[in-house]
Amino acid sequence: MIHVADLKKTFTTYERGGSFREALLSLIIRKKKNIDAIKGISFDIEEGELVGILGPNGAGKSTTIKILTGILHPTSGSVDVMGFVPWKERKKYVRNIGVVFGQKSQLLWDIPPLDSFCLNQAIYRIPENEFKKTLSEMIDMLDLTDLVRKPTRQLSLGERMKCEFIMAMLHKPPIVFLDEPTIGLDVIAKGKIRDFIHEQNKRGTTFILTTHDLEDVEQLAKRVIVINHGEIVFDDSMENLKQHLGEKRTVHITTREKISLENTEGIEVRKQLSDYDIEVVIDLSVVKLNKFIQKVNEESKIRDMSVEGPELEQIIKKLYTI
């Protein structure tokens, strides 16, 4: 559905000094500087996938999304989305996509969301029966029955974001791009939006999600692309991402006698809360879990213990430093 090959984007900026003299001099002589935002990335996305694109600030993920939506032209490389070249056939192309930006609204501030929905119906020329059916389903799914007639300015952030999703999906686009869709939302609003995304994905909609909220990625994405310094450093399933740094487990132990695990091969002490309370990360390729438990119990008498899988946040931090 989406084919990206050797995509590059270079921005040209001009350096300017901080002093008044240097500012005046820059009016005559401008020092050019090229910044490579994307350095030849390639990937394919199949129909019906839900893909998370991650990366630190300035990594190139937003530039990639803007090229895929037709907002920016690349410096070189090729993009094919459903047979369209986004920046060349933009009018035809945008009829087939939906976009939700967490920090940019499609709703008109002074009128109720329902009026904005009707405006979108006219823009996309959605038949009346189809419009009413789709709108009714989405309003029920997002629990907005009593809110769509209130002026947009009177809605909370969570309520507005739910309406943004309806705006983006009324014309039933096969692909939806989500950029920080749950930013600033409370737990209940996030849950509703995640359930909505899951349901639409089950019906065949392809989603491309960019976010810094790792919980969104963990709960929604089946595949993760990590971009850093304009290059793809990881592209695989969520399960393989969690195994990317090896078979590691976080173990929290409280004991009856003093415990110390410093300078033990294959074990990293994360927190030593007291002489009887410790949290460690075990590399199972070096230390067998059952042998570790047996050793600690013999030496310090285990009172309580919990074992957790690798934390997504720690894995992503490691990838960002590559």
Q: Of residues 61 and 244, which shows the higher confidence score?
A: 61
Decide if 138 contacts 165 (C-beta within 8 A).
Answer: yes
Instruction: Determine, yes or no, domain membership for 21.
Output: no
pLDDT of residue 58: 83
pLDDT of residue 310: 63
Residues 52 and 162 in one domain: yes
Residue closest to 67 by CA, chosen among 76, 58, 59: 76
Instruction: Determine, yes or no, domain membership for 307.
Output: yes
User: In the predicted model, what is the mean pLDDT of the chain?
Assistant: 87
Instruction: Determine, yes or no, domain membership for 101.
Output: yes
- Classify residue 167 as exposed, middle or buried by CB count within 10 Å of its CB (0-12, 13-18, 19+): buried
Domain that holds residue 54: 45-242
Residues 207 and 300 in one domain: no
Residues 217 and 266 in one domain: no
pLDDT of residue 167: 92
Residue 84 per-residue DSSP state? B
CATH number of the domain that 216 lies in?
3.40.50.300
Instruction: Determine, yes or no, domain membership for 29.
Output: no
pLDDT of residue 270: 86
Residue closest to 189 by CA, chosen among 275, 258, 102: 102
Number of domains, the chain = 2
Residue 120 pLDDT greater than 80, yes or no:
yes
**CA angle at residue 32 from 31 to 35, to 5 degrees?**
140
Q: What pairing do the DSSP bridges indicate for beta strands 76-81 and 2-15? A: antiparallel
- Residue-wise pLDDT for 278-304, tens only, equals 998 888 778 888 888 888 898 899 999
Instruction: Determine, yes or no, domain membership for 2.
Output: no
Residue 313 pLDDT greater than 70, yes or no:
no
Residues 221 and 285 in one domain: no
pLDDT of residue 115: 94
Q: Predicted confidence band at 45 (pLDDT cuts at 50, 70, 90)?
A: very high
- Residue-wise pLDDT for 157-174, tens only, equals 888 888 999 999 999 999
Instruction: Determine, yes or no, domain membership for 87.
Output: yes
Instruction: Determine, yes or no, domain membership for 189.
Output: yes
- Residue-wise pLDDT for 123-141, tens only, equals 999 999 999 999 999 999 8
Residue 92 pLDDT greater than 80, yes or no:
yes
Angstrom distance (rounded) from CA 218 to CA 284:
23
Residues 269 and 204 in one domain: no
Q: Predicted confidence band at 207 (pLDDT cuts at 50, 70, 90)?
A: very high
Residues 238 and 252 in one domain: no
Instruction: Determine, yes or no, domain membership for 4.
Output: no
Decide if 35 contacts 10 (C-beta within 8 A).
Answer: yes
Residues 226 and 280 in one domain: no
Angstrom distance (rounded) from CA 223 to CA 234:
10
Residues 94 and 224 in one domain: yes
- Classify residue 77 as exposed, middle or buried by CB count within 10 Å of its CB (0-12, 13-18, 19+): middle
Lay out the sheet containing 231-237: strands in order across.
Answer: 97-101, 175-179, 206-210, 50-54, 223-228, 231-237
Residues 186 and 296 in one domain: no
